[in-house]
Amino acid sequence: MTTTGPHDATPEPPSEDELARARARGEFRLLYQPEFDVRRGSFAGVEALLRWRHPTRGLLGPADFVDRLATSGLLVPVGYWALAEVTRQGARWHDRGYRFPVALNVAASQARELDFVDEVARALHASALAPAALTLEFATATLEGLADATRTRLLALGVRLGVDDVEPGVTDVAALADLGVAVAKLRRGAVDDPARGAALTDALAPLVARGVRVVAAGVENPATAQRLEAEVGVAGSLEGQGFLYGGPQPAAAIDRLLEDFAIFSGEPL
Ligand code: G
Ligand code: MN
């Protein structure tokens, strides 16, 4: 018996045909990961995360298929499906009085599409979701590279711009604030990183001062949440996302979460 059996091998990336079939059969779906107010311990919003319910391999994450989706030309149409889906689901929550923000990740290639802003406007209109309830999350480099006209039109629509991969002490957060970013997500692990020199308080001060919502990703245990609470100035909002609060889950599970414990207690939109 060898140690490198089929189960150890990285699975083959899916073929273009498989992905086209998956799309036609509606095998893509969104899961929603809760974001919590760290201090109040209350529900603050969700981030939509793309999954593929593969007929034989189970639920796959983007790492397993997103590259091939991109090279197959399907990343943009699947992204527009996700945009329609997240705004529809967000509007359902809002209609029931749960007026929290929903976030969607947007790939660089999608943000460069000529009709991107029109598609965002169309999804908002079709769903009747309040624009301020939609956060579009970009990688920092994507947002910095976004055409000014695109960024300005998105801001004019009233959606919130978010960045996904803020590295405290490294990322130029003041520049991000200048670009109109409303939500800054600290990359997973940033809070636990022992090599992190400056206190989070200093690194994040320019964001907090400008009312940017700070969300720490990858909060897995109470110690991390406590460190966050202690190190980020009391002035700003501070949110956490991670297994401490809940993993990515179907919308129905978020419904139960809302009903069972954590009534949204943020600012109404
Ligand atoms: O790197 P990024 O934040 O994009 O990764 C998102 C993925 O990380 C999600 O799809 C989810 O499965 C996973 N994830 C969510 N919360 C946590 C967490 O607290 N810890 C770890 N290790 N992974 C998480
Ligand atoms: Mn994200």
**Residue 217, SS3 per DSSP:** coil
Q: CB within 8 A of 267, min separation 6: which ones?
A: none
How many other CB atoms are found less than 10 A from the CB of residue 269? 14
Q: How far apart are the C-alpha atoms of 190 and 215, rounded to whole Å? A: 11
16 ligand 1 Cβ < 6 A: no
Closest residue (by CA) to atom 12 of ligand 1?
248
HSE value, Cβ hemisphere, 13 Å, CA-based, for 230 = 8
Residue 7's pLDDT is 53
Q: How far apart are the C-alpha atoms of 264 and 240, rounded to whole Å? A: 14
Residue 244 alpha carbon, nearest atom of ligand 1: 19
Residue 200's pLDDT is 75
Residue 1's pLDDT is 40
- Tokens encoding 265: 């207690």
Residue 263's pLDDT is 57
Strand-pair partners of 33: 47
Residue 133's pLDDT is 98
Task: Report helix angle 75-95 to 251-260, nearest 10.
Answer: 30
Alpha helices by DSSP H, the chain: 16-24, 66-71, 75-95, 108-111, 116-127, 140-145, 148-157, 173-178, 200-209, 222-231, 251-260
- Tokens encoding 122: 């169309």
Query: Which of 29, 32, 33, 142 has most ligand 1 atoms within 8 Å of its beta carbon, as the pocket-test mutant?
Result: 33
Q: Specify the DSSP class assigned to residue 51.
A: E
Residue 39's pLDDT is 87
Question: Which ligand is in closest contact with the Cα of 189?
Answer: 1
- Is the CB of residue 204 less than 8 Å from the CB of residue 177? no
Q: How far apart are the C-alpha atoms of 117 and 151, rounded to whole Å? A: 9
Q: How far apart are the C-alpha atoms of 102 and 32, rounded to whole Å? A: 9
Q: What's CA 210's distance to the chain center, in Å?
A: 21
From the first residue on, what is the mean pLDDT of each consecutive set of 10 residues in the chain (269 residues)? 50 91 97 93 94 96 96 96 98 94 97 97 98 98 97 98 92 93 93 66 84 93 87 72 97 91 55
Query: Which of 188, 219, 245, 249 has most ligand 1 atoms within 8 Å of its beta carbon, as the pocket-test mutant?
Result: 188
How many other CB atoms are found less than 10 A from the CB of residue 118? 11
Closest among 45, 51, 54 to 25, alpha carbons compared: 54
Residue 5's pLDDT is 44
Residue 187 alpha carbon, nearest atom of ligand 1: 3
242 Cα: distance to centroid of ligand 1 (angstroms): 7
Question: Which ligand is in closest contact with the Cα of 49?
Answer: 1
Q: How far apart are the C-alpha atoms of 141 and 157, rounded to whole Å? A: 22
Q: How far apart are the C-alpha atoms of 28 and 185, rounded to whole Å? A: 25
Q: How far apart are the C-alpha atoms of 59 and 70, rounded to whole Å? A: 19
Q: How far apart are the C-alpha atoms of 252 and 249, rounded to whole Å? A: 8
